[in-house]
Amino acid sequence: MRFFSYIGAIAVALSLSACADESPSNEAVSADALALQAHLEFLASDDLEGRDTGSRGHEIAAKYIAAKFKSLGLEPAGDDGTYFQRIKFRRSFLEENSASFTLNTGEDEISLDYPKEFITGPSAYSEEDDVEAPLVFVGYGLVSEAFGINDYEGLDVEGKIVVMVSGRPEELPSEEGAHLNSSKTKFAAERGAVGIINLHTPAREKVRPFEVSVMYQRAPSVRWLHPNGEPNVAFKNIAASAYVQHEAAEKLFVNAPVQLEEIFAQLEAGESPKGFDLGVSARLQRASRHEEISSPNVAAVLPGSDDKLKNEYVLYTAHSDHIGMTKDLSQDDHINNGAMDNASGVSVMLETARMFKESGQQPKRSIMFLSITAEERGLLGADYFAHHPTVPLSQIVANVNLDMPVLLYDFADVIAFGSTHSTLGDTVARAAGQLGIDLSEDPMPEQAIFTRSDHYPFVKKGVPAVFLMTGFTSKTEGEDGGEVWGEFFAEHYHRPSDQPDLPINYEAGVTFTNINFAIGQEIANQVERPRWLPESFFSQLD
Ligand SMILES: [Zn+2]
């Protein structure tokens, strides 16, 4: 059994980094279990009604966080000298019975049945879409120089609708594959396509049946708006989209040189199908309705002490929003409190801010604390900040993200997503080591978690990032950390039971906070800013 007194360990850590500067007040700095509990119980209380983006409950959460920043004496870093960066969002709904998909084979006109044979989402850009164009099959629709992939090679898709199979080749590493997968629209748009049709596959059907997608497609899509009111729709030339059921998809291949059955067989065999003209055209129509809401990020800065380095920032992020109320009326409790997701991360960030403020040792670089909205809607608040930062993005040297630390057991190790991509990996290992905590490898690489939280929009803009989660081992005899974590995920994640009456281990929260504090402290005080490792795929994103 490994047992470290965290206060002792922090004192050692500080005495190492403090060197000549001997201020005795440093030694006692540690997160406080009661403070973590107080923050969490407020943020995850029923009164905040699940903190949905744009809701009153989330506004109250944001005000609470701003009040805490203010009481710590942190400087406002939002808009116009306030702590708030208010963001406008557009919610888009598909108008009932407006979606149609007509195929023209040259001989016949065939209508696909909505939503049995195809589904489509609303447009965030226009209220009416009507696109008619030839179809071109483009395999997976991927392009990557690093992996020697160009599914568009030899194909002219200018003014055409591209048809692609969903997913990606199995041989791609999970994080890189997930990134490329999320760039498919970009690849199509850059080549002048006017629409995208995704094909459901038999393999996908086994994991997530088409009917499940049909069930979820009624949810509105949410996009953030630029300050000038323009929606953040990067590729306006893509004015049509559809997701086609795998059997119905055969109709698109009646004139094709290769039949769909063979394409699916190639996928099954682990091959990437080649593209070709489908020899048919399609007309896709839909109508969309738009609504506007607004919701704030909350930002504060602790200025650095070094004349030069204070213009650089270590950015802590934690999302304050959650998924609001459940529509499942079969349950008594309708409030998704989001205690672990992510009242816990915000609580850790607030305690981290207090520790920096009260450590008696001002960091050389400035520290920014950013509580983020609309994470649950697709990392939107983080994406907005990455596009409209309140300090120059090039001066943000690293992002330490806090999202859903599962503080339900006495964890003995941490997993640090992003640690293999930059010099932050060494920083995390040192910080955790000082507290007697191991750094473990990602136990679920297939989940590509590195691309699934608020640090990712910053990564895409070139900011090295790291995101810790509690590992799967425990310091307590007989406790299986992986089992507790898995049980949380299976039974409470995104459900009303993710609430403060879970058996929360606030002492584990103290350790988790102390590690994240130590990470930021090292980044803030080291001479060089963190760097991407040259061999990392994410070092070369444009
Ligand atoms: Zn969540």
pLDDT tens for 215-251 read 877 778 899 999 999 898 778 889 999 999 999 999 9
Is the torsion defined by CA of 228, 234, 240, 244 positive or negative? Answer: negative
Q: Which residues contact 426 (CB under 8 A, 6 or more apart)?
A: none
Q: What token pair was written down for 105?
A: 């084979």
Q: Distance between terminal CA atoms of the chain? A: 46
| Segment holding 214, helix H or strand E | helix 210-216
User: How close is the Cα of 453 to the center of ligand 1, in Å?
Assistant: 9
**Nearest Cα residue to 248 out of 196, 200, 195, 214:** 200
User: How close is the Cα of 322 to the center of ligand 1, in Å?
Assistant: 6
User: How close is the Cα of 163 to the center of ligand 1, in Å?
Assistant: 31
What average pLDDT score do residues 265-283 get?
96
The CA distance from 225 to 15, in Å, is 47
User: How close is the Cα of 119 to the center of ligand 1, in Å?
Assistant: 25
DSSP-derived secondary structure for 391-431: S-GGGEEEEEEE-----SS-BSEEEEETTTTBTHHHHHHHH
Please report which residue ranges of 228-302 form alpha helices under DSSP H. 260-268
- The proportion of the chain whose per-residue pLDDT surpasses 70, expressed as a percent, equals 94
- pLDDT of 112 higher than 60: yes
Q: Supply the pLDDT for residue 216.
A: 76
Q: Which residues pair with 186 in a beta bridge?
A: none
Residue ranges near ligand 1 (ion) with Cβ within 5 Å: 341
pTM for this predicted structure: 0.82
User: How close is the Cα of 291 to the center of ligand 1, in Å?
Assistant: 23
For 122-176, what is each residue's pLDDT tens digit?
998 899 999 999 999 999 999 999 899 999 999 999 999 999 999 999 888 888 8
Domain with CATH 3.50.30.30 in the chain: 92-290
Question: What is the three-class DSSP state of 203?
Answer: helix
- pLDDT of 8 higher than 70: no
For 277-317, what is each residue's pLDDT tens digit?
999 999 999 999 999 999 999 999 999 999 999 999 999 99
pLDDT band at 387 (very low <50, low <70, confident <90, very high): very high
User: How close is the Cα of 323 to the center of ligand 1, in Å?
Assistant: 7
User: How close is the Cα of 375 to the center of ligand 1, in Å?
Assistant: 8
Q: Supply the pLDDT for residue 18.
A: 38
User: How close is the Cα of 525 to the center of ligand 1, in Å?
Assistant: 32
pLDDT band at 27 (very low <50, low <70, confident <90, very high): low
Q: Supply the pLDDT for residue 26.
A: 43
- pLDDT of 21 higher than 70: no
The CA distance from 426 to 35, in Å, is 29
- pLDDT of 330 higher than 60: yes
- pLDDT of 119 higher than 60: yes
Cis-peptide into 228, omega within 30 deg = no
Buried b (16+ CB within 10 A) or exposed e, 402-414: bbbbbbbbbbbbb
Q: Supply the pLDDT for residue 512.
A: 97
- pLDDT of 386 higher than 90: yes
Q: Which residues pair with 128 in a beta bridge?
A: 287
User: How close is the Cα of 158 to the center of ligand 1, in Å?
Assistant: 38
What average pLDDT score do residues 438-461 get?
87
The CA distance from 439 to 199, in Å, is 40
Q: Supply the pLDDT for residue 360.
A: 85
Mutual orientation of helices 506-525 and 344-358 as an angle, nearest 10°? 50
**Nearest Cα residue to 197 out of 152, 150, 244, 255:** 244
- Fold (topology level) of 33-87+295-456+463-521: Aminopeptidase (3.40.630)
| Segment holding 514, helix H or strand E | helix 506-525
- pLDDT of 359 higher than 60: yes
Q: Supply the pLDDT for residue 28.
A: 66
Query: Count of residues for the chain?
Result: 542
What average pLDDT score do residues 12-37 get?
60
Count of Cβ atoms closer than 10 Å to residue 37 Cβ: 15
Q: Which residues contact 177 (CB under 8 A, 6 or more apart)?
A: 168, 169, 448
User: How close is the Cα of 23 to the center of ligand 1, in Å?
Assistant: 41
Residue with tokens 């930059």: 422
User: Do 83 and 77 contact (CB within 8 A), yes or no?
Assistant: yes
Q: Supply the pLDDT for residue 542.
A: 54
What's the CATH class of domain 92-290?
alpha beta
**Nearest Cα residue to 98 out of 120, 124, 125:** 120
What average pLDDT score do residues 55-74 get?
98
Q: Which of the residue ranges 18-22, 196-200, 453-457 would you say has the lowest mean pLDDT?
A: 18-22
Q: Which of 7-21, 215-229, 473-487 has the highest mean pLDDT?
A: 473-487
User: How close is the Cα of 494 to the center of ligand 1, in Å?
Assistant: 6
User: How close is the Cα of 393 to the center of ligand 1, in Å?
Assistant: 26
Helix-then-strand count for the chain, H and E: 14, 19
pLDDT band at 13 (very low <50, low <70, confident <90, very high): very low
What average pLDDT score do residues 451-464 get?
92
User: How close is the Cα of 402 to the center of ligand 1, in Å?
Assistant: 12
The CA distance from 14 to 431, in Å, is 11
User: How close is the Cα of 493 to the center of ligand 1, in Å?
Assistant: 7
The CA distance from 517 to 361, in Å, is 13
User: How close is the Cα of 500 to the center of ligand 1, in Å?
Assistant: 16
Q: Supply the pLDDT for residue 504.
A: 98
DSSP-derived secondary structure for 172-224: S-HHHHHHHHTTHHHHHHHTT-SEEEEEP-HHHHHHS-HHHHHHHTTSPEEEE
pLDDT band at 7 (very low <50, low <70, confident <90, very high): very low
What average pLDDT score do residues 385-411 get?
97
Please report which residue ranges of 423-474 form alpha helices under DSSP H. 424-434, 456-460
User: How close is the Cα of 380 to the center of ligand 1, in Å?
Assistant: 13
Domain with CATH 3.40.630.10 in the chain: 33-87+295-456+463-521
Query: Please, what is the average pLDDT of the chain?
Result: 91
Q: Supply the pLDDT for residue 24.
A: 36
pLDDT band at 2 (very low <50, low <70, confident <90, very high): very low
Q: Supply the pLDDT for residue 373.
A: 98
User: How close is the Cα of 246 to the center of ligand 1, in Å?
Assistant: 30
User: How close is the Cα of 173 to the center of ligand 1, in Å?
Assistant: 24
pLDDT band at 56 (very low <50, low <70, confident <90, very high): very high
